[in-house]
Amino acid sequence: MSSVYNRQTSIDKAYDYIQEKVNKGYKYLGYPVYNVSKSDLQKVSDVADKYGLPFEWLMNLMKHESAGTFNPAITNSIGATGLIQFMTRISGKLRTYAKADGTDAVGTENLRKMTFKEQMDYVDGFLSRGLKKVLVNGKVPDNFTQGQLFMTIFYPVSVSNPDYVFPDSVSRANAGIRTPKDYAKKALNKPVFSLDYFPNSIQEAKEKFKEFVTEAVQETKEFTKRNWIPIAIILIGLGGLGYYLIKSKTLKLK
């Protein structure tokens, strides 16, 4: 039996999850949990919807990468920073990150000074480039999985290969994980949203929920519902104009 999907319910659940950690005073590497607002979480929802991604997956990803702090300033021993652990250097070269439109490129020093909502623009930028090869009409396909999203951020070359073996240096820097399956298992240990709550692929979500659509599609439906009378009048008017023009042309020919 299908369930009814409600994005606001998930936003509320994520908010309550983070507030509980804030109230308990949880910290990691000295970084406290960021006191997110529901406006911050709406920004996550907007970024997820842009690519047809579940909000729930993106929250699970950022929970894992930020060690449960959701803190844009959190930095590990090798300089990886923030909500998705933007790398400071790759192959010895300093990295910069831009927004989705390619503007405002910055390094991790600037990223860690940002608010949650500001840094989400750079998460958006990272996704826009990382997902480019898999998007169909701007959205991820139905067979796209949560594990593939994890690898889009963590190790892009392994996105389509769950048995990929990470280099030893990557494994050592990440608590010994060896494959994308290892990463997913660890990321989904006490996640914000369990697989019982939200499935592991877009197709499974569509099968589980009576209606699982992105906000953009939902807004179109609401717009059409609100404006069906004026739209109908316009269509009737255009039809009448077409009939008049055809009729006039017919009369002239006679």
pLDDT at 125: 98
Helix, strand or coil, per DSSP, at residue 183: helix
Q: What is the pLDDT of residues 166-190, one digit of tens each?
A: 999 899 888 899 999 999 999 999 9
* 7-212 is classed CATH 1.10.530: yes
Q: What is the pLDDT of residues 49-86, one digit of tens each?
A: 999 999 999 999 999 999 999 999 999 988 999 999 99
Q: Which residues contact 201 (CB under 8 A, 6 or more apart)?
A: 142, 143, 144, 145, 146
> What's the rounded mean pLDDT across residues 84-90?
94
CA 203, CA 27: separation in Å to the nearest integer?
36
- Please provide the DSSP assignment of 103-158 as one string: -S-B-HHHHTTS-HHHHHHHHHHHHHHHSTTT-BTTB--TT-BHHHHHHHHH-GGG
CA 136, CA 52: separation in Å to the nearest integer?
10
pLDDT at 238: 53
Helix, strand or coil, per DSSP, at residue 81: strand
Q: Which residues contact 114 (CB under 8 A, 6 or more apart)?
A: 72, 82, 122
Q: What is the pLDDT of residues 20-47, one digit of tens each?
A: 999 999 999 999 999 999 999 999 999 9
In terms of average pLDDT, the best of 32-36, 207-211, 238-242 is: 32-36
